[in-house]
Chains A and B, each alone.
Chain A
Amino acid sequence: MRKSHEKLSLSWLLRHPLVATCILLALTIVLPYTRVGEKLKLVTFLPLAHAADDVEQTPYEELSEDERQRIDLQRERERVTTLITENARLRETLAAMDGLATRDTDFARAPLPPAVNAQVLFHGDSSAWRHSCTINRGREHGVEEGMPVVAGLTLVGRVFMAGDNHACVQLITDPGFAASCLIIDPDNKDAEPVRGILRGDGSAMPHFPRLELEDVAVGARVHAGMHVVTSDYTGQFPVGLSVGVVRETIPQAGFLQVRIEANLDLSTLEVVQVLQHRRPEIEEQALKLLRKK
């Protein structure tokens, strides 16, 4: 190991890869608790986010009158185009949700917490296994870690880390994502909802990804076409957010594996809403569940 006259320097660490690896692993364990890693990640995300946001670099005051008018007109056009696109998309979502609401009135009537509108700055993650996106709203706008992110009434993910003006969203397709869900039969309102746990599988399906529902009891009556919505069992998400539609069921040892198709094309998301829903304390959640029973 290190001799007494040898200085502990970078070159010494380079000559002893095992020690360096041990230090790195120790840092890997310690850093998540100090949140240094997340902060650094956010700092590295921001330049890309700004680049993707296409922010005008030249100060507005320094431009000539003609240039100002041209830029104003251009901005107005862009705004109108964005609004038209957003309006069409929201109308589609609303129409889809109205269809769901007429069939699943109990879930659609559940009151939702206030929402913060956010623009998706960019999709994607540097790892092929992870799925995330960055939005232009952060702590200053009331966004906190763990809050659900939706598009219309469809679950998109949850806030993974929040900066002052930006936040990183973990999408439902990320392997680290899990949510308690209910499978409901739209054609039979009297049928008992079936519980299951939604888990992202890192699916690289570009459009309308396939997801999986785990821990569904073997005897449960689940068939293709049933709807999957969030449950408030753990208190992480409000009840009734749409997730997807059951496509296939595969019996496994002890449990039923349910494959579902997401209701949203995650790769084309542009506008999302962060629901200001806070996970209740464990005592509050326990009382809530007791009252339900």
Chain B
Amino acid sequence: MATAFRIRSQTPQYRWRIVVIGGLTMAGAHAMLLHRLDAGDFTPDLFSIFALYVGLFASRHGRYTPSLVLGLIRDFFSIGLLGSYGVLYSLLHKVAERARGKLDPERPLNVFLMALTGTFLVNFGYHAMLVIAGDGIGWTRALARCASIAIASAPFAVALFPLFHLGLDTLRVDRQGGYWNF
């Protein structure tokens, strides 16, 4: 109850710069750096990891808007249909919100599991949108690809979440009830 009160009393402090700069950094990393890893299907989906972090730890006052903004940023840097990632990350936010009630996102094992599931679902959802547009690559191959991306991404989440915490702490963003005030 006390926690709930603290969350509600948290003054909305929409630090859009954190979301926008974070999104632009991730988009730049994906567009210009990650393909240089030559990791094939095992290229990590860092953008989705960041979106999951926002979904888990952003202030509840902003609801799913930061995730929607992140998704739209990714859409702007892609030749795909505008709004695809916007919708997917909004849904990821909703799912992450529910998962948080059951799993403690501060434990590395839980982070690993949530990142594994989250990146898999986002990529599988994206393929579903490709199928609707008539550009699907086949469900079996898509499943294998989504699994590869999820396996490659999950360990990064375990390492990146504490770094994100540290970064926000350094920027002196308030934290109450486990939620960062952005």
Chain B residues within an 8 Å CB radius of A40: 76
Chain A residues within an 8 Å CB radius of B127: 129
- Interface-side segment among B2-10, B32-40, B108-116, B173-181: B32-40
Distance in angstroms between the alpha carbons of A175 and B35 in the assembled complex: 17
Residues B137 and A132 in contact, CB atoms below 8 Å apart: no
Residues B86 and A123 in contact, CB atoms below 8 Å apart: no
Residues B40 and A204 in contact, CB atoms below 8 Å apart: yes
A32 interfacial by beta-carbon distance below 8 Å: yes
A149 interfacial by beta-carbon distance below 8 Å: no
A14 interfacial by beta-carbon distance below 8 Å: yes
A289 interfacial by beta-carbon distance below 8 Å: no
Distance in angstroms between the alpha carbons of A238 and B85 in the assembled complex: 35
Residues A130 and B81 in contact, CB atoms below 8 Å apart: no
Residues A41 and B76 in contact, CB atoms below 8 Å apart: yes
User: Mask for A168-179, Cβ within 8 A of B = 1, else 0?
Assistant: 101000111000
A90 interfacial by beta-carbon distance below 8 Å: no
Residues B123 and A128 in contact, CB atoms below 8 Å apart: yes
Residue of B nearest to A201 (CB): B137
Residues B82 and A130 in contact, CB atoms below 8 Å apart: no
Residues B83 and A124 in contact, CB atoms below 8 Å apart: no
Number of interface residues of A (CB under 8 A): 41
Query: How distant is A278 from chain B, measured CB to nearest CB, in Å?
Result: 21
Residues B80 and A130 in contact, CB atoms below 8 Å apart: yes
Chain B residues within an 8 Å CB radius of A130: 78-80
Residues A48 and B32 in contact, CB atoms below 8 Å apart: yes
A86 interfacial by beta-carbon distance below 8 Å: no
A57 interfacial by beta-carbon distance below 8 Å: no
B31 interfacial by beta-carbon distance below 8 Å: yes
Query: How distant is B27 from chain A, measured CB to nearest CB, in Å?
Result: 4
User: Mask for A230-262, Cβ within 8 A of B = 1, else 0?
Assistant: 000000000000000000000000000000000
Chain B residues 68-109 with CB under 8 Å of chain A are: 68, 74-87, 90, 94
Chain A residues 166-205 with CB under 8 Å of chain B are: 168, 170, 174-176, 201-202, 204-205
Chain B residues within an 8 Å CB radius of A48: 28, 31-32
Residues A32 and B79 in contact, CB atoms below 8 Å apart: no
Chain A residues within an 8 Å CB radius of B39: 204, 206
User: Mask for A76-101, Cβ within 8 A of B = 1, else 0?
Assistant: 00000000000000000000000000
Chain B residues within an 8 Å CB radius of A176: 79, 130, 133, 135
A72 interfacial by beta-carbon distance below 8 Å: no
Residues A126 and B74 in contact, CB atoms below 8 Å apart: yes
Chain B residues within an 8 Å CB radius of A17: 63-64, 90, 94
A28 interfacial by beta-carbon distance below 8 Å: yes
A74 interfacial by beta-carbon distance below 8 Å: no
Between A126, A129, A206, the greatest number of chain B beta carbons within 10 A of the residue's beta carbon is seen for A126
Query: How distant is B87 from chain A, measured CB to nearest CB, in Å?
Result: 7
Chain B residues within an 8 Å CB radius of A267: 35, 38
Residues A126 and B40 in contact, CB atoms below 8 Å apart: no
Residues A125 and B31 in contact, CB atoms below 8 Å apart: yes
- Knowing A132-B79, A160-B79, say if A24 contacts B86 (CB, 8 Å): yes
- Interchain Cβ contacts under 8 Å between A and B, 12 examples: A17-B64, A24-B83, A24-B87, A28-B83, A40-B76, A48-B31, A125-B78, A129-B127, A161-B79, A175-B135, A176-B79, A204-B41
List residues of chain B with CB under 8 Å of any chain A CB: 26-28, 30-35, 38-41, 43, 45, 47, 62-65, 68, 74-87, 90, 94, 123, 126-127, 130, 133, 135-137, 141, 145, 149
List residues of chain A with CB under 8 Å of any chain B CB: 14-15, 17, 21, 24-25, 27-28, 31-32, 37, 40-41, 44-45, 48, 52, 122-130, 132, 160-161, 168, 170, 174-176, 201-202, 204-207, 267
Task: List 20 additional A-B contacts (Cβ < 8 Å) besides A15-B63, A48-B31, A123-B35.
Answer: A28-B86, A41-B76, A41-B82, A44-B76, A122-B32, A125-B30, A125-B31, A126-B27, A126-B30, A126-B78, A127-B74, A130-B80, A168-B79, A174-B79, A175-B137, A202-B130, A202-B145, A204-B43, A206-B40, A267-B38
